[in-house]
Amino acid sequence: MSQSKQAIDQGSILLVGNYRPSLPVARSLSTAGYRVVLARDGFSAAERSRFVDETWQPSPWRSGSYDFVGELQRFLERRRDIAAVFPVNQARILELLASRDRISVPLITVEPETVATCLDKVRTTRIAAEVEVPVARFAAGSSVQDLYDLADDLGYPCVVKRNDGIEHGLKALVLGNANQARTFATSYPGWFDNFMVQQFAWGPRYNRYFIAHRGRILRRLDIKTLRTNQIDNTGLGVSGVSTAPLAALDEPSSRLIEALGYSGIGCLQFLVDDVRGTIAFLEINPRIGGNYAFTQDCGLDQASALVDIVQGRGLEHWAAPFDYPVGKRYAWVMGDLEGLVQSLETRQVSGRQAVSWWLKAVAGGLRADHHLLWRWDDPKPALYLARRSVPKLTRRAGRQVARILVHRSRKLAGRLTLQAR
């Protein structure tokens, strides 16, 4: 262990994963004094950052025989200066942990057993219930018929979730009635091999971002999600505000982290209903979050903390008293508008809902203290992303607006024809 500590201090760290979390991680590690090498894992705005010292281009992804881990290890053998690999998104974390014996340098991740447990939503929810963390009633299923039976038993509205992550672009969906369940099952028949159904719980989502060691939370930061990129609020957060630590979450959070023997960083999610006075555990994500740029801006440096925890050092620093700004807002306008366009394309929102959504996205952007990806001292990634994405998004939005106008014109023409008769 002492050799790996010294090696990471004296070497570079290779970041692997998509641009949204990898960009703030690069900024964090560079500020902490590490040299940052970025793997271009598909499209990446992070490589434009002044905090990235170098990029590495793996071969383009190919189905079948492509061995990313093998190519990564060959790169590490050529580059002895790279002392650790830091995967930042779920797919790469799982891939590299599954092949960690083939990788010659340490992986900067939460412990593999903890990752496996947390990404199994049914198992994690059961553990939460066992240690008396409030959870809504739930059950696991593995077929379309299970969906119908479990939803009828638990009652509508209910939430259906993939047990192991995102499939067909969906992680979770709120079902209001049996007809919606049948429509969903018909549209995504392959979705139902591994899922859970849970009673609907009321209240906004609170994310408790934390640093923990051996089952004890050292630091935490609470963020209330104001809006997501899905009409039913099951998606990724696109607007939120930092809040004072919620006392109601302290005991449930501590019990679950202790039960998991958690060491590392992560995000606990709860639904908190102030009107009914209830809370409900949603899930725990054992990785850097997509909105990490905001938690970083609030002072919670999870990336540097994870490096220290993996090396077994600096824990007294992370256990010291920690205060953060309360009432600070963030916005992810591009993600917000992307969600709007996708919802129009899948016909999940009406024209009136789309206008309301657009106005809220603009208002959220104007009120925000922090915009994800943007930093005045590192503007190139956000500008590059805007130049690349805005024209495409505008074209897609234009097609959907034209579709709505044509549809309304036809309806109006039909009414006028009936009146004329």
pLDDT of 370 above 80: yes
150-167: string of b/e by CB count within 10 Å (b at 16+)?
A: bbeebebebbbbbbeeeb
Q: What is the mean pLDDT of residues 305-325?
A: 92
Going from N- to C-terminal start, the domains of the chain cover 2-109, 137-199, 205-331, 333-420
Q: 205-331 belongs to which CATH class?
A: alpha beta
Q: Which CATH superfamily is domain 137-199 in?
A: ATP-grasp fold, A domain (3.30.1490.20)
Q: Indicate left, alpha or beta for 279 from its phi (over 0: left) and psi (-120 to 50: alpha).
A: beta
Residue 41 sits at φ, ψ, to 5 deg, of -90, 75
Q: What is the mean pLDDT of the chain?
A: 89
pLDDT at 6: 45
pLDDT at 397: 83
In this structure, of 274-288, 319-333, 400-414, the range with the lowest mean pLDDT score is 400-414
State pLDDT tens for residues 218-260.
999 999 999 999 888 888 899 999 999 999 999 999 999 999 9
Q: What is the mean pLDDT of residues 369-380?
A: 93
Q: Which of 288, 227, 286 is nearest to 257 (CA)?
A: 286
Total-model pTM: 0.91
pLDDT of 129 above 90: yes
Q: Quote the CA–CA distance of 116 and 173 in Å, as a whole number.
A: 23
pLDDT of 414 above 90: no
pLDDT of 63 above 90: no
Q: What is the mean pLDDT of residues 191-216?
A: 93
Q: What is the mean pLDDT of residues 201-214?
A: 95
Give the fold, CATH level 3, of 2-109.
Answer: Rossmann fold (3.40.50)
Residues of the chain above pLDDT 70, percent: 94
pLDDT at 44: 73
pLDDT of 64 above 90: no
pLDDT at 12: 93
Q: What is the mean pLDDT of residues 249-276?
A: 95
pLDDT of 132 above 60: yes
pLDDT of 62 above 80: no
pLDDT at 154: 95
**What interhelical angle do 351-367 and 380-420 show, nearest 10?**
150
pLDDT of 283 above 50: yes
pLDDT at 9: 65
Tokens of 22: 């990898």
Q: What is the mean pLDDT of residues 304-330?
A: 93
Q: What is the mean pLDDT of residues 7-35?
A: 86
At a CB cut-off of 8 Å and minimum separation 6, what does 317 contact?
A: 308
- Determine how many CB atoms are found less than 10 A away from the CB of residue 415: 10
On whether the CB atoms of residues 118 and 85 are closer than 8 A, the answer is no
Q: What is the mean pLDDT of residues 143-153?
A: 94
pLDDT of 144 above 70: yes
Chain-centroid distance, C-alpha 247 = 24
Q: Quote the CA–CA distance of 392 and 397 in Å, as a whole number.
A: 9
